Amino acid sequence: MYLTVKQQLKHLSKEEYLSLRELSHTAKNLYNQAVYNIRQYYFQEKKYLSYQNNYAVLKTSENYKLLNSNMAQQILKEVDGSFKSFFNLLKKKNKGMYNAKVKLPNYLPKNSFTTLVIGFVRLNEDTLVIPYSNSFKKNHKKISIKIPPILLDKNIKEIRIIPKFNARFFEVQYTYEVQEEQRNLDKTHALAIDFGINNLATCVTSKGKSFIIKSFIIDGKKLKSINQWFNK
């Protein structure tokens, strides 16, 4: 079983922040290059350009070289996964098994950023050093991140560095593996959740005693105000 822990990156120097923005923007460029290759091949050949063939074309590109090779490969794999989903849906549609419109994966906006994925995780005790390519390393100082203490004894499988609000700040998402626990659930009871905006969630449980609240509301106004502040 896999679980996730999220951490907002704080206390970055201006230089570190700009380096992350540059990497995230480069990842977006590589993503769009990969999308372009597959789309053009499909338009011309009416066939799917495989990950291996796309990788062979892009591994010498400037954007690929600026990223750590593992990060770059993760970008290509994500694009590949999107197009595999497209072709699977297209096949179902042609067989009459799918009625909705099937759209080709599109490009990310020109001035945007995308997630940096670290699929091969190496830690120095409680510290993650963002992996650089040799070319990026020449002109940029390393970025070290202290991982949350809860993860110190965990088997971390993947780390995602996610740009938020057009890369005004970054969030780190750690995916780790744990042994699945068998739980004896009482399936005769339920919790109903109604999501909203001002009220983020209105919840009602089917179980409770006179001294236990059977319903509760999670206020969403604070989250809404934070979102409006970041979009100013």
Residue ranges of domains in the chain = 2-177, 191-230
Rounded Cα distance, 148 and 90, in Å: 43
Burial class of 153 by CB neighbour count within 10 A (0 to 12, 13 to 18, 19+): exposed
- Residue 100 pLDDT: 87
Report which residue type is found at 171.
E
pLDDT in tens, the chain (232 residues): 899 999 999 899 999 999 999 999 999 999 999 999 999 999 999 899 999 999 999 999 999 999 999 999 999 999 999 999 999 999 998 889 988 888 999 999 999 999 999 999 999 889 999 999 999 999 999 999 999 999 999 999 999 999 999 999 999 999 998 887 777 777 777 888 888 877 888 888 877 555 455 778 888 776 666 455 444 4
Give the pLDDT confidence score for residue 216 in this predicted structure: 81
Quick check: 34 and 79 in contact, CB under 8 A?
Answer: yes
**What's the pLDDT score for residue 211?**
47
> Residue 189: its pLDDT value, please?
78
Q: Which contiguous run of DSSP H or E holds residue 161?
A: strand 155-164
Tell me how far apart the alpha carbons of residues 199 and 202 are, in angstroms, rounded to a whole number.
7
Q: How many CB atoms lie within 10 A of CB 136?
A: 18
Q: What pLDDT is attached to residue 140?
A: 97
Q: Are strands 191-195 and 2-8 parallel, antiparallel or unpaired?
A: unpaired
Q: What is the pTM of this model?
A: 0.78
